[in-house]
A and B are shown apart, each in its own frame.
Chain A
Amino acid sequence: MALTEERPLLELTAGDDEVRQPLGSFRRPTSTTGWRSWITTVDHKRIGILYGATALTFFAIGGLEALLIRAQLAQPNGQVLSPERYNQAFTMHGTTMVFLVIMPMLAAFANYLIPLQIGARDVAFPRLNALSFWIFLFGGLFLYSGAVLDQIADNGWFNYAPNSGVLYSPGHGIDFWTLGLQIAGIASLLGAVNLIVTCINMRAPGMTLMRMPIFTWMALVAQFLLLFAIPVITVALFLLMFDRLFGGNFFVVQKGADPLMWQHLFWIFGHPEVYILVLPAFGIVSEVIPVFARKPLFGYPFMVFSGIAIGFMGWGVWAHHMFASGAGPVTVAAFSLSTMFIAVPTGVKIFNWIGTLWGGKLQFTTAMCFAIALVSQFTIGGLSGVTHSISPSDWQQTDTYYIVAHFHYVLFGGSVFGIFAGFYFWWPKVFGRCLDEKIGKIHFFTWLIGFNLTFGPMHVLGLQGQPRRTATYADGMGWNLMNLLSSIGAFTIGVGFLIFIFNVVKSRNNVVTDPDPWDARTLEWATSSPPPAHNFDISPTVSSLDEWWHRKYELGDDHKLHRREHPESFTAATPPENIHLPSPSYWPLIIAAGLPFIGWGLIYSYWLAGFGGLLTFVGIYGLVLEPSVDPDAGHHGHADTHDTHEPEPAAVVAGAAEAEEDADQ
């Protein structure tokens, strides 16, 4: 359904209500404040904030599950949880942290920052963007809705067949898991398409790919990984759904299935997923470190290409999760070698960060502390990764706490520390308020100690033979002390999180007036904080990497850098009047709201599924038929909006292009 440039809908006269509200019942939302504005928003910045807030909530839930696990394991023969509850706790902890925390957290950063960093007004498909968020939210809620009926998945986040089948897991927990992740997968896929098109098509004039900020680059690579990885897990989930709900035999051994097929599908998704989780965090620290070292990123091209290399090589290492699964020596050897060599581009990143620190004038803000901690801790995770790329030693280490230690150093010490560096760094941009630095430091050191205390001892536990996913362990195995330390560490992390929340609450009064408090380098700092709905009053043009920094500083006659008196920013004294942004809409929310009903319906009653399907179907029609820009809204009181009295013609072009592309979806 292509709405062409003719735009007949835009030319309606004020009386044509019937077409303006295609399905009659809804009045198009117009509010820009209050809760209604949030549930109907198509602004990438608000959607980014929604992603972030949701992910932070799930982080608290996943964290509580982790504390339950550590409470149970603090002592041998722990009695805090029954084995059933323990299995549910670690299953939901892993699933939550991967799918409902780190992935959406990075979606939050990517959504918020990419358009700002590339000088665009919004993402390519703003309404699709809203749809992604709501589908993600409802997917997450659906995943947890089973808990109300005490139907909670308990087969691990990897959910190996055949234990995932009805025969061995007769409850509905795994149905909730399977369907919930399929729903959340739609969100990731839509988001990936949207952000890829945004990066490719929406960059400001002059922003070549090699002038694109490094965070945007890494997020772009991650979106490509999502685009190809999500379909694989979706296939696996879809087959499992058929097994469980419709009597399929894809993973039923008694009917001749090979359960290793699940493992292959899962890890072909699962390993690129690791890079999906960590690459954007790499991007974040690659933005933070140069700003606080007051130097450009060391070896920007190497950073870009190592990220791309990781993106490609990430597809060739999945079977290292299966070294002990029964593959022959040739397969094992091949994947051992490919796994070793993926350490090379990762190592490049580490050394380039050190190169950026080297010779700088380092300013230890909280964001910088988190970023440097990522460099240190990810190194540990990377090195332990190399030790189990040696598949014979992996035969000892796989499925032990050594692996748990390894991937927490990567995903917590790496991704989560990176995300929190991003929080402290961009908080003033997003909210116009600063997180307190003193409390931030307390938060940082609590986490630095808590994190290493939790996961450091797990290396030892794994090498001493403690298998993971065990609800209990006997006394006399030599594991008591390390487990106790680890549990103390976990609760320390919990305290640190509360300190962070306190900081967030307190930041309400901590208004910053300077839109560029860190003296930063990229375009998002060249507009006000928080940025206006249209991002830039004047649409940016770009002539170098770190455009904003180059506008601020020039080399003086004394060969020293001098700050220009009035750097050319993109804010105008009088806000422009003729920028078309897509109007808010209820339909994304309605489309997404139908999906959990389809899920519940497939499990309990097809009537519910029919209702959900109808809701989604109506929602899709509503969204498609509704003009992306409400003809009643946005340019009230102005003359013809396509006039060219704007000083920067690019602004008009950008605004209109979005509206068209959005309508074309």
Chain B
Amino acid sequence: MTRLPAARRRKGLRLVPVLALSLLLSACASNAPQDTLKPEGPYARKIDHLFNPVFLIAVAVFCLVQGLVLFAIVKFRRRPGDEDFPEQLHGNTRLELGWTILPAIILGAVGVFTVPVIFDLSEVPKNALQVEVTGQKYWWSYTYQAQSKFGISDPIITANELHIPAGVPVALKLDSKDVIHSFWAPRLNGKKDVVPGRVHDWKLEADHPGVYSGQCAEFCGISHANMRLKVVAHDKAGWADWVAHMQTKPTKPTSGLAAEGYDLFAQKGCSGCHQVDGEYQTVAADSPSAPNLTHLFSRDCFAGCIYNLDDRNEVEAWLRNPQRKAGSLMRIGQLSEAEIDRLYAYLETLK
């Protein structure tokens, strides 16, 4: 039997911690918008504050165990020619009881800190903005019922981008139209599954105005990866502006390409599924759920937040072929370039 020289052996096994450390270091360097370790709100921070000490304990145990293993590998290796047996030790009850009880105590302590946080985070916040979130293949819709406290007098329905005021708790009611999804904006809170036939309570809060990225976290089908979302947190004035804007109704275009697009919107069947408040109010009874387009162009992204609305090419590509997003339920037929121009002109009026 051949044996590797001891030095090479040790080097190989040392790779494990070295690799782990270098990974951790490189992790800190990169800029990740969905980083769970950089919380931007009280709920996410609460989780982070629980995770950090446990992570440190884990690192300590990691170092202890790997240290002991490495030490044993180096110290107790069999020297060539040594045929004697080491001491035939069968165990040590005290030691073994020790390493049974000690971890149990440490874990018990961790448990004591964990349980209150579970209850805290499960509590529905008071004086919160209420938003109904509906998950469906493969996008999010949000309904804000009238809430005078937040300046909302008529219900607001929007998609993919969840607008909230910063520094205010937001109570979410999660429901699904089809399969199980999971609502997750990592820097504002953990995730909660969105289960059809159930309404789950969840909550968010952002400390500061900003845009926070998130996405569906429960596998939901072919375009699961394309079911993303944004949470846009506003300062006080920005929130008031947004609400005020969302309370307006678009004006129906009367001339030019946009007016032709308006007619086309009905002719091509768009209005069978997509609502436009004040213009196309009712959709077909059996239509698949489709985003409300009333204020489409006040958003940044569409189709599960994977395409940019301010890029005209992406909107046109979508109208040319909505199936470019796998699993899209939108059926529109082949449009001519002229028709696409008209539709685009109309959609652009839906600010």
A residues apposed to B, CB below 8 Å: 82-84, 87, 154-156, 160, 162-163, 168, 253, 256-260, 293-296, 298-302, 324-326, 328-329, 332-333, 336-337, 340-341, 343-345, 347-348, 350-352, 354-355, 357-365, 369, 372-373, 375-377, 379-380, 383-384, 386-387, 390-400, 437-438, 441, 445, 448-449, 452-453, 456-457, 459-460, 463-474, 476-479, 481-482, 553, 560-561
Question: A354 touches which one: B69, B100, B196 (CB < 8 A)?
Answer: B69
Q: Is the CB of A478 within 8 A of B32?
A: yes
Determine chain B's interface SS by DSSP, over half rule.
mixed
Q: Shortest distance in angstroms between B166's beta carbon and chain A's nearest beta carbon?
A: 20
Contact with A along B51-92 (1 / 0, CB 8 A): 100110010011001101100110011110010111111111
A302 to B100, CA, bound (A): 10
Q: Is the CB of A387 within 8 A of B58?
A: yes
A457 to B21, CA, bound (A): 11
Query: A253 contacts which chain B residues (CB < 8 A)?
Result: 196-197
Residue of A nearest to B20 (CB): A456
B residues apposed to A, CB below 8 Å: 1-4, 9, 12-13, 15-16, 19-20, 23-24, 26-27, 30-37, 44, 46-47, 50-51, 54-55, 58, 61-62, 65-66, 68-69, 72-73, 76-79, 82, 84-93, 95-96, 99-100, 103-104, 107, 110-111, 114-115, 117-119, 121-122, 178-180, 182, 184, 186, 189-193, 195-198, 200, 213, 215-226, 228, 306, 326-327
Q: Shortest distance in angstroms between A476's beta carbon and chain B's nearest beta carbon?
A: 8
Q: Shortest distance in angstroms between A204's beta carbon and chain B's nearest beta carbon?
A: 22
Q: Is the CB of A343 within 8 A of B73?
A: no
Q: Is the CB of A329 within 8 A of B73?
A: no
Q: Is the CB of A390 within 8 A of B50?
A: yes
Query: A154 contacts which chain B residues (CB < 8 A)?
Result: 222
Q: Is the CB of A156 within 8 A of B122?
A: no
Asked, given contacts A336-B111, A479-B32, whether A358 binds B193 with beta carbons under 8 Å apart, the answer is no
Q: Is the CB of B61 within 8 A of A383?
A: yes
Q: Is the CB of B218 within 8 A of A399?
A: yes
Q: Is the CB of B89 within 8 A of A295?
A: yes
Q: Shortest distance in angstroms between A354's beta carbon and chain B's nearest beta carbon?
A: 5
Q: Is the CB of A390 within 8 A of B32?
A: no
Q: Is the CB of A395 within 8 A of B215?
A: no
Question: B51 touches which one: A329, A390, A398, A471 (CB < 8 A)?
Answer: A390
Q: Is the CB of A344 within 8 A of B19?
A: no
- Please name 17 further chain A to chain B contacts, defined as beta carbons within 8 Å, in addition to the given A395-B190, A467-B216, sorted by A numbering: A84-B326, A156-B219, A160-B218, A163-B180, A336-B111, A347-B99, A357-B69, A376-B69, A379-B62, A383-B62, A437-B1, A448-B13, A457-B23, A460-B24, A464-B36, A465-B35, A469-B224
Query: B178 contacts which chain A residues (CB < 8 A)?
Result: 162, 168
Query: B62 contacts which chain A residues (CB < 8 A)?
Result: 379-380, 383
A476 to B306, CA, bound (A): 13
Residue of B nearest to A91 (CB): B219
Query: A343 contacts which chain B residues (CB < 8 A)?
Result: 103, 107
Q: Is the CB of A376 within 8 A of B65?
A: yes
A362 to B74, CA, bound (A): 9
Q: Shortest distance in angstroms between A504's beta carbon and chain B's nearest beta carbon?
A: 18
Q: Shortest distance in angstroms between A297's beta carbon and chain B's nearest beta carbon?
A: 8
Q: Is the CB of A393 within 8 A of B215?
A: no
Q: Shortest distance in angstroms between B33's beta carbon and chain A's nearest beta carbon?
A: 6
Q: Is the CB of B72 within 8 A of A357?
A: yes
A376 to B61, CA, bound (A): 11
A595 to B288, CA, bound (A): 40
Query: A400 contacts which chain B residues (CB < 8 A)?
Result: 36, 217
Question: A452 touches which one: B19, B76, B110, B119 (CB < 8 A)?
Answer: B19
Q: Shortest distance in angstroms between B230's beta carbon and chain A's nearest beta carbon?
A: 12
Q: Is the CB of A392 within 8 A of B23?
A: no
A379 to B19, CA, bound (A): 15
A466 to B34, CA, bound (A): 8
Question: B191 touches which one: A380, A390, A396, A441 (CB < 8 A)?
Answer: A396
Residue of B nearest to A460 (CB): B27
A341 to B180, CA, bound (A): 30
Query: B89 contacts which chain A residues (CB < 8 A)?
Result: 295-296, 298, 355, 359
12 examples of A-B residue contacts, CB within 8 angstroms: A87-B221, A160-B218, A295-B86, A296-B89, A355-B96, A361-B79, A392-B114, A395-B189, A396-B36, A467-B215, A476-B33, A560-B85
A299 to B92, CA, bound (A): 7
Q: Is the CB of A302 within 8 A of B111?
A: no
Asked, given contacts A296-B90, A299-B92, whether A83 binds B225 with beta carbons under 8 Å apart, the answer is yes
Q: Shortest distance in angstroms between B73's beta carbon and chain A's nearest beta carbon?
A: 7
Question: A328 touches which one: B117, B122, B216, B225 (CB < 8 A)?
Answer: B122
Q: Is the CB of B34 within 8 A of A354?
A: no
Query: B19 contacts which chain A residues (CB < 8 A)?
Result: 452-453, 456
Q: Is the CB of A363 within 8 A of B225?
A: no
Q: Is the CB of A160 within 8 A of B180?
A: yes
Q: Shortest distance in angstroms between A385's beta carbon and chain B's nearest beta carbon?
A: 10
Query: A363 contacts which chain B residues (CB < 8 A)?
Result: 3, 77-78
How many contacting A-B pairs (Cβ < 8 A)?
331
A369 to B33, CA, bound (A): 40
A305 to B59, CA, bound (A): 27
Residue of B nearest to A328 (CB): B122
Q: Shortest distance in angstroms between B29's beta carbon and chain A's nearest beta carbon?
A: 9
A307 to B7, CA, bound (A): 35
A467 to B182, CA, bound (A): 11
Query: A348 contacts which chain B residues (CB < 8 A)?
Result: 96, 99-100
Q: Shortest distance in angstroms between B120's beta carbon and chain A's nearest beta carbon?
A: 9
A359 to B78, CA, bound (A): 10
Q: Is the CB of A258 within 8 A of B198?
A: yes
Residue of B nearest to A322 (CB): B193
| 6 A-B pairs with least C-beta separation | A395-B190, A465-B34, A478-B32, A299-B91, A470-B225, A361-B78
Query: B226 contacts which chain A residues (CB < 8 A)?
Result: 472
A155 to B191, CA, bound (A): 20
Question: B47 touches which one: A373, A393, A453 (CB < 8 A)?
Answer: A393
Question: A336 touches which one: B118, B192, B200 (CB < 8 A)?
Answer: B118
Q: Is the CB of B222 within 8 A of A386?
A: no
Q: Is the CB of B15 within 8 A of A395?
A: no
Query: B117 contacts which chain A residues (CB < 8 A)?
Result: 392
Query: B115 contacts which chain A residues (CB < 8 A)?
Result: 333, 336-337
Question: A359 touches which one: B20, B76, B121 (CB < 8 A)?
Answer: B76
Q: Is the CB of B36 within 8 A of A376?
A: no
Residue of B nearest to A84 (CB): B222
Q: Is the CB of B15 within 8 A of A452?
A: yes
Q: Is the CB of B85 within 8 A of A340?
A: no
Query: A359 contacts which chain B residues (CB < 8 A)?
Result: 76, 86-87, 89
Q: Shortest distance in angstroms between A577's beta carbon and chain B's nearest beta carbon?
A: 37
A501 to B144, CA, bound (A): 61
Q: Residue among B65, B76, B192 with the most chain A CB within 10 A?
A: B65
Q: Is the CB of B15 within 8 A of A469?
A: no
Asked, given contacts A361-B86, A393-B47, A470-B224, whether A168 binds B179 with beta carbons under 8 Å apart, the answer is yes
A493 to B145, CA, bound (A): 54
Q: Shortest distance in angstroms between B123's beta carbon and chain A's nearest beta carbon?
A: 8
Asked, given contacts A299-B92, A396-B186, A456-B19, whether A163 binds B221 with beta carbons under 8 Å apart, the answer is yes
Q: Is the CB of A372 within 8 A of B73?
A: yes
Query: B69 contacts which chain A residues (CB < 8 A)?
Result: 354, 357, 372, 375-376
Asked, given contacts A341-B104, A350-B65, A561-B88, whether A397 binds B224 with beta carbons under 8 Å apart, the answer is no
Q: Is the CB of A399 within 8 A of B76?
A: no
Q: Shortest distance in angstroms between B4's beta carbon and chain A's nearest beta carbon?
A: 6
A384 to B54, CA, bound (A): 10
Asked, given contacts A474-B306, A561-B88, whether A326 binds B193 with beta carbons under 8 Å apart, the answer is yes
Q: Is the CB of B193 within 8 A of A324?
A: yes
Residue of A nearest to B58 (CB): A383
A364 to B100, CA, bound (A): 29
Q: Is the CB of B219 within 8 A of A469?
A: yes
Question: B224 touches which one: A294, A357, A364, A471 (CB < 8 A)?
Answer: A471
A415 to B5, CA, bound (A): 28
Query: B184 contacts which chain A residues (CB < 8 A)?
Result: 467
Query: A471 contacts which chain B residues (CB < 8 A)?
Result: 222, 224-225
